[in-house]
Amino acid sequence: MEEKLIQKIQRSDRPFLVAGPCSAESAEQMEMVARDIALNTHAQVLRAGIWKPRTRPDSFEGVGQIGLPWLVEAAKNNGLLSTTEVANAKHVELILKAGVDIAWIGARTTVNPFAVQEIADALKGSGIPVMVKNPINPDLNLWIGAFERLEKAGLTDLAGIHRGFSVYNNPRYRNQPNWEIPIALKEERPDLPIICDPSHISGKRENLLPIAQKAMDLNFEGLIIETHPNPEKAWSDARQQVTPTALREMLSQLTLRRELISEDAQNKMLLMRDKISGLDDKIFELLTARMLISEEIGVFKRDNDITILQQEHWKKMIATRLSKATDLNLSEAFVREFMDALHQESIRHQTKVMNPNLGD
């Protein structure tokens, strides 16, 4: 029986690597990039968009079906597997006919259960491996739901692609990573390998390395990186593509670490982890004490008809904490999120004592 994609990923040199242009542009471009990828990197899979879901209608929307043999041939000639995005039943029919090895479902499709179901139905019985990108909105269940729809259709050779989540005007990321979501996916579905897509997260080739490194440090199994023979001239996503030689250079800078550690290292870590657990105990005791005082304030507010939310006071509390964040070596984003969570919990405690019959 043929080896499954999941097994190939597990067996591969880390990271399992998918490379290739954002879009297929011509047979020559595909052959050239496939050859250079095979020559310069350990990539196992050649990617290329054939149909491109573009945000605005007048952008290049992919060469369409004519590009399928370019992708399949270029991959075969260079000992690679081929993969492209499918967004509807027609795409599925065409890639199966053309002999594409792996399908992927894009982020704009994963958000739509109707579309995922249509693809799952069309793929039924093909046994083809499918990689599912996260939905553009940070919704873990929607991502898991897509895997489940495929599994119900008998497709069991699946992997996730983490490509980040939509943000408006973020100078740092084209799509923000929200690392906690792929980590939660790993927790719920440890059987699914995850491949990180630094190209779409960063949107800029200069920022690929730190994202790829983080993915490796979080134990992702693979990377998918947009690779073009002449990135500046690419018909789509020119800013984020790299040449195969630049990709090789980037991969050589990755530090690959392992999760399993020796007993000696484990024992040393144990001591430090004990300290952390002790501190966590204290933090939680303090949080409980804080909530008790908040409840006391709640009783006072109830008896004196004062609202729970004290916006002005809270604004000052946040400002004080934020101004101390840098001195304490904590990020402002963390302090903000922590304070918001604290406030929500405090409001919940006061609601309980002030409106005991209304629930949370």
Ligand X SMILES: C=C(O[C@@H]1C=C(C(=O)O)C=C[C@H]1O)C(=O)O
Beta carbon nearer to ligand X, 190 or 356: 356
257 alpha carbon, distance to own chain's centre: 20
Does 346 participate in binding ligand X (rule CB under 6 A)?
yes
DSSP β-ladder status, 175-176 and 165-166: antiparallel
Beta carbon nearer to ligand X, 322 or 347: 347
Q: Which stretch binds ligand X (CB under 6 A): 91-99, 125-133, 327-335, 344-352?
A: 344-352
> Letter for the amino acid at 113?
P
Q: Which stretch binds ligand X (CB under 6 A): 154-162, 277-285, 341-349, 351-359?
A: 341-349
Minimum CB distance to ligand X, residue 324 (Å) = 16
Report how far residue 293's alpha carbon sits from residue 163's, in angstroms, rounded to the nearest whole number: 43
DSSP β-ladder status, 175-176 and 194-196: unpaired
Whether omega before 210 lies within 30 degrees of 0, making that bond cis, reads no
Does 320 participate in binding ligand X (rule CB under 6 A)?
no
- Opening angle at CA 356, ends 355 and 360, nearest 5: 75
Report how far residue 167's alpha carbon sits from residue 175's, in angstroms, rounded to the nearest whole number: 6
Does 179 participate in binding ligand X (rule CB under 6 A)?
no
Report how far residue 108's alpha carbon sits from residue 271's, in angstroms, rounded to the nearest whole number: 46
Does 124 participate in binding ligand X (rule CB under 6 A)?
no
CB 162 within 8 A of CB 135: no
Does 321 participate in binding ligand X (rule CB under 6 A)?
no
Closest chain position to ligand X (CB): 346
CB 89 within 8 A of CB 76: no
3-class secondary structure, 158? strand
Choosing from 292, 309, 319, 341, the residue that interacts with ligand X (CB under 6 A) is: 309
Choosing from 297, 318, 325, 353, the residue that interacts with ligand X (CB under 6 A) is: 297
Beta carbon nearer to ligand X, 4 or 343: 343
Minimum CB distance to ligand X, residue 330 (Å) = 18
Does 343 participate in binding ligand X (rule CB under 6 A)?
yes
Q: Which residues bind ligand X (CB under 6 A)?
A: 294, 297, 308-310, 313-314, 317, 343, 346-347, 350
